[in-house]
Amino acid sequence: MAIRLTIDGQKVEAQEEQTVLEVAREAGVWIPALCHHPAVSPYGACRLCLVEVEVRGRRRLVTSCCYPVQDGLAVFTQTEKVMGARRGVMELLLARAPDSPTLRELAEKLGVTESRLPKVTEAERDCILCGLCVNVCREVIGAAAISFVERGVEREVGPPFDEASDACLGCGACAAVCPMGTVDLRWHEGELEIVPFKNRVPVVRCRECGEPITGLPYAEQIRARLGEKLASAVELCPTCKRNAAALAQKKAGAAGRAYVHHAKTPYRDQAPCSSERPGRASEPGSDGPDRCSQGVRAK
Amino acid sequence: MTVSSRSTESREPVPLSAGRSEAGLDGRAAEAARANPRGTATAERRAGGGGAAATLSELQEPARARWDALKRGDQPIIWVGMATCGLAAGAAEALKAAEAELEAHGIAAHTIPVGCVGMCSLEPMLDVEKPGGARICYGEVTPEKAREIVRSYLVEGDPRADLALGTVGDVEVAGIPRLSELPMIAPQKRVVTGTFGLINPTDIDHYLAHGGYQALQRALEMDPEAVLAEVERSGLRGRGGGGFPTGRKWRSCREAHGEPKYVICNGDEGDPGAFMDRSIMEGDPHAVIEGMVIGAYAIGAHQGYIYVRNEYPLAVERLRKALADARECGLLGENILGTGFSFDMQINRGGGAFVCGESTALMASLEGMVGEPRAKYIHTVEVGLHGKPTTLNNVETWANVPVIIERGADWFASIGTEGSKGTKVFSLVGKVRNTGLVEVPMGMTLREIVFEIGGGIPGDKRFKAVQTGGPSGGCIPEEHLDTPVDFDQLWEVGSMMGSGGLIVMDEDTCMVNLARYFTGFLRDESCGKCVPCREGLAQMQRILTRICDGEGREGDVELLLHLCDVLDDAALCALGNTASNPVRSTIRWFRADYDEHIRERHCPARECRGLFRYEILAETCNGCGACRRACPEDAISGERRQAHTLDQTKCVHCGACLEACRFDSVVKV
């Protein structure tokens, strides 16, 4: 059953169980958010997605990521109250992680040039405690290898007892959802490290070209799920996989050509022989995985 | 004869039977009960094999018989306040001394532990009741005094009017006032706390004898809808601080879709200085249980939880005993009182987080997850514990439910104000003479509470402000002391009633430091999930600390108010949303104090170290040298019997000189 509401006066239709943020995104209305990702349940921690909603004559500020749509709802995304609240939150975030490019870019969009506030909390590698890594690991991957520890300003994300976690699969989902570039994959000789969690897993390499593919525990889980017939999913790197597929098609007589492609893989710069040069896995502009929500690039 | 269970005004002794000594503390009481089980309601059940469900009268009869024998027997009774306040003050030692004295004189007496009467500053409190005679309440009873009292009153027949606080019950004594007429007690209306001090909280028979569980029986004879309607009509609003209409909450839960439904008691009382809920759980745990069973019946729940903060071990112990006894009597569990309604509950303890007093964080904690709140756009009455419809209410709210069912919604609504019905329990603490637990009708003014019940400010100091609502509330200055205390009227002067903590402050209290204290508390207790609370409180505390350290800057107050705005608008839960209140209210009413800190580096209350001076008054100093010897920095000099002087350049503002001086010659400037 369709639900009818308005966003900044614009009429939109929505489905039941949708949130205001989802509907706004579909309608092309921009609402900032850092702790939101379509793959993960809404968490409501960053407070940037605040909007004003009016229902039955009553208006209030709510986080659009958690607010369920209802018939007759009026949503306002650009009121003074909303902008003031967003800027206030942005200032607090900038104080916490003043050097973060993600925050600087977002701040500019919100009209905040700098923070009046000093840095009073410690942020490990610009972590803003959005919870995406924790939530994706628990909810989507099912490993729960990392969690929040401590409370309040002492809060951090880490593995149990601050030691490398056995539960980590090395799938890299945490790095994929992190909006700040805090969580990252670091390739060592034969090992994949999830920074800053100290989790390390052995690496599975492409049986054709030797490129590292992913963490071994993760590959084994996929293999177990997909069965032997689809083992190539975790035995070949993306390039070799494409080549193998094209070759198979050609053999089967389908139109098309063998397509040998030496495209830059995201981790080529991180090949084992250059393990003495650890660094960020992805560069801006690369065709690496988009590791940030709403397309805001990590460094 | 009618049994009124809840109000001290109309208390009549209820006929009971078969006295036996119930020694001392809970554990001992329980042991005594096991050792000497004959005649108790629980024992009758056990004897009968606990088979068919008991009717209430089957439980009441032995209970009343026991009480009768106790009160009309030929043994004296020693009643001792054994709540945490009493125990902390030394009640156990006083009792031991009393028992030793009794033994020395060969007197056999009953000793009964009771809850907190509310006169906490006078603990330990020990009452001695002569068979057929007066029950006299004594305060500040040391072991020495205990022996003296036993000797004087029981052996020599002298009630010791010089040591007595007042008489309890009908028998009066010349020269001793009635306890209920004391200035601290008389203005109160002890509805929920009425049984405190009169019953042994670990003995279900005492509760039964005073009309306990009659409300439950009545409710179970009504339709659940009718029970709910009665609570709605009463106008009861949540006593935990939110003030949400209880009947409306119950109705929403009843109408919500989802099974099973749950009821929860929020016993995670976290406001510093508040002990209303602790006193209720320690003093009359059955009232809470009875309320929850009635509520579960009205809502359609069959499982309940009492979430008690781990820092209340005595409350947990007493609740455990009460639950066990209630189950044994068929008042909890399967087929309650033979009506076919089943309901049971368990106790869960908190892990030491203030934020777990927030309903969604509490439920997360109950589910075994980190106590973190979530957005409440979908209410917990619809999606709560385990995603099911859940009714969470505060301890005091639940304790009001039996009263409402027994005495009726109309009676309840006749007390209080238009918008706030009934009474409210407060913990009155701070710079006030009569600190303790008080219960007053809604609408009584702050002035009455602080100056009549509270006895005013000790040491002839001037009243400065009273903080209501703890870290979520604000301070109220003298000019608004005539504000009636209720949910709505305190709001208008920038505070809120909160859960009932009332902290009185005098001229020596620095309001900026007060704001810093509460902000620091909240910063430590913040769960850390949302940005405004986690980062905002840390920023606010940093600013307030700078101000108190004499490093305040022009613009700090404005920045604080800005951060207050961000918290108000953007924080996720009530901890963050109300965190601005102490800061805002102190700025609103005591802006001059802030300005003096910032512009003059001076603390008008002379509390912030380094922001005031110590000086020796030459006119009164007699040169005894005590301050000179006490000073760790050799900043004081002077000849014997000559007025001493303090070198300000060496002074580190430790205050040792002030403490050492016995002639009031060191002053703070």
The per-residue DSSP string of B604-655 comes to TTS-STTSS-EEE-TTT-----HHHHH-TT--EE--TTS--EE-TTT-----
pLDDT for B53 equals: 67
Query: Does the pLDDT at position A266 exceed 60?
Result: no
Residues B388 and B473 in one domain: no
What is the least distance, in Å, from the CA of B575 to any CA of chain A? 12
What's the mean per-residue pLDDT of chain B?
92
Contact between A73 and A58 (Cβ < 8 Å) = no
Q: The domain spanning residue B497 has which CATH number?
A: 3.10.20.600
Helix B591-600 vs helix B580-589: angle between axes, to the nearest 10 degrees? 80
Span B627-644, average pLDDT = 94
Could you tell me if residue B5 is inside a domain?
no
CA distance B201 to B115: 7
pLDDT for B34 equals: 47
Residues B501 and B532 in one domain: no
Give me the residue spans of the domains in chain A.
Answer: 1-120, 125-271
Residues B268 and B177 in one domain: no
The pLDDT confidence band at residue B158, using thresholds 50, 70 and 90, is: very high
Instruction: Classify strands B164-168 and B135-138 as parallel, antiparallel or unpaired.
Output: antiparallel
pLDDT for B121 equals: 92
Span B301-322, average pLDDT = 97
pLDDT for A138 equals: 95
CA distance B13 to B372: 48
Residues B78-119 pLDDT 10s: 999 999 999 999 999 999 999 999 999 999 999 999 998 899
Is ipTM strictly over 0.90?
Answer: no
Residues B163 and B109 in one domain: yes
CA distance B43 to A124: 62
CATH number for A1-120: choose from 3.10.20.740, 3.40.30.10, 3.30.70.360, 1.10.1490.10: 3.10.20.740
CA distance B627 to B645: 10
Q: The domain spanning residue B517 has which CATH number?
A: 1.20.1440.230
Contact between B538 and A120 using a beta-carbon 8 Å cutoff: yes
Span A221-246, average pLDDT = 86
Span B599-624, average pLDDT = 96
Q: Name the domain count of chain B.
A: 5
What's the mean per-residue pLDDT of chain A?
85
**Which residues in chain A are contacts of B535 at CB distance < 8 A?**
92-93, 95-96, 120-121, 153
Query: Does the pLDDT at position A277 exceed 90?
Result: no
Contact between A88 and B570 using a beta-carbon 8 Å cutoff: yes
**Which residues in chain A are contacts of B374 at CB distance < 8 A?**
44, 66
**Which residues in chain A are contacts of B378 at CB distance < 8 A?**
68
Domain-terminating residue out of B600, B626, B642: B600
The pLDDT confidence band at residue B5, using thresholds 50, 70 and 90, is: very low
Q: Mutating which of B372, B539, B572 best tests the A interface, going by the most A Cβ atoms within 10 A?
A: B539
Please tell me the pTM assigned to this model. Answer: 0.88
Query: Does the pLDDT at position A148 exceed 60?
Result: yes
| Residues in contact with B47: Cβ distance below 8 Å, sequence separation at least 6, in sequence order | none
Residues B372 and B442 in one domain: no
The pLDDT confidence band at residue B48, using thresholds 50, 70 and 90, is: low
| Residues in contact with B409: Cβ distance below 8 Å, sequence separation at least 6, in sequence order | B230, B231, B232, B233, B234, B235
φ/ψ of B233, rounded to 5, equals: -65, -30
Residues B518 and B542 in one domain: yes
Q: Does A121 touch chain B (CB under 8 A)?
A: yes
Residue A277, amino acid: R
**% of chain A with per-residue pLDDT over 90:** 66
Q: The domain spanning residue B217 has which CATH number?
A: 3.40.50.11540
Q: Mutating which of A48, A73, A79, A92 best tests the B interface, going by the most B Cβ atoms within 10 A?
A: A92
Contact between A154 and B528 using a beta-carbon 8 Å cutoff: yes
Q: How far is CA B21 from the centre of its chain?
A: 29
Measure CB to CB from residue B377 to each of A68, A118, A150 and give the nearest one: A68
Least Cα distance to B50 among B332, B286, B296 occurs for B332
Domain-terminating residue out of B413, B441, B467: B413
pLDDT for A202 equals: 93
The pLDDT confidence band at residue A238, using thresholds 50, 70 and 90, is: confident
Span B149-154, average pLDDT = 95
**Which residues in chain B are contacts of A45 at CB distance < 8 A?**
529-531, 572
The pLDDT confidence band at residue A232, using thresholds 50, 70 and 90, is: confident
Lowest mean pLDDT among A156-170, A216-230, B618-632: A216-230
Measure CB to CB from residue A95 to each of B528, B532, B539 and give the nearest one: B539
Cβ–Cβ contacts within 10 Å for residue B369, how many? Answer: 10
Query: Does the pLDDT at position B338 exceed 80?
Result: yes
The pLDDT confidence band at residue A198, using thresholds 50, 70 and 90, is: confident
HEC secondary structure over A171-184: CCHHHHHCCCCCCE
CA distance B358 to B526: 11
Query: Does the pLDDT at position B14 exceed 80?
Result: no
Q: Does A85 touch chain B (CB under 8 A)?
A: yes
| Residues in contact with B594: Cβ distance below 8 Å, sequence separation at least 6, in sequence order | B511, B512, B547, B552, B556, B557, B586, B587
Contact between A152 and B370 using a beta-carbon 8 Å cutoff: no
Q: The domain spanning residue B658 has which CATH number?
A: 3.30.70.20
A189 burial level (CB within 10 Å; 0-12, 13-18, 19+): exposed
pLDDT for A255 equals: 52
Measure CB to CB from residue A117 to each of B378, B539, B569 and give the nearest one: B539
φ/ψ of B448, rounded to 5, equals: -60, -45
**Greater confidence, B443 or A254?**
B443
Q: Is A102 left (phi over 0), alpha (psi -120 to 50) or beta?
A: alpha
pLDDT for B49 equals: 56
Residues B445-503 pLDDT 10s: 999 999 999 999 999 899 999 999 999 999 999 999 999 999 999 988 888 999 999 99
Span B571-589, average pLDDT = 96
Residues B655 and B539 in one domain: no
Contact between B195 and B284 (Cβ < 8 Å) = yes
pLDDT for A254 equals: 57
The pLDDT confidence band at residue A256, using thresholds 50, 70 and 90, is: very low
Could you tell me if residue B190 is inside a domain?
no
Lowest mean pLDDT among A11-25, A256-270, B149-163, B506-520: A256-270
Residues B500 and B646 in one domain: no
pLDDT for B52 equals: 59
Span A276-294, average pLDDT = 35
Query: Does the pLDDT at position A271 exceed 80?
Result: no
The pLDDT confidence band at residue B46, using thresholds 50, 70 and 90, is: low
Measure CB to CB from residue B538 to each of A43, A67, A121 and give the nearest one: A121
Return residues 347-366 of B near A (CB < 8 Å).
353, 355
Query: Does the pLDDT at position A120 exceed 50?
Result: yes
Domain that holds residue B234: 213-413
Span B228-233, average pLDDT = 98
Lookup: tokens for B266: 């929020």
Residues B350-402 pLDDT 10s: 999 999 999 999 999 999 999 999 999 999 999 999 999 999 999 999 999 99
Lookup: tokens for B556: 């700090």
Domain-terminating residue out of B164, B181, B198: B181
Q: CA angle at residue A192 from A190 to A193, to 5 degrees?
A: 135
Instruction: Classify strands B344-349 and B303-308 as parallel, antiparallel or unpaired.
Output: parallel
The pLDDT confidence band at residue A222, using thresholds 50, 70 and 90, is: confident
Residue B319 is given by DSSP the state H
**Which residues in chain A are contacts of B353 at CB distance < 8 A?**
151
pLDDT for B240 equals: 95
Lookup: tokens for B316: 């947990």
pLDDT for B43 equals: 64
Residues B341 and B486 in one domain: no
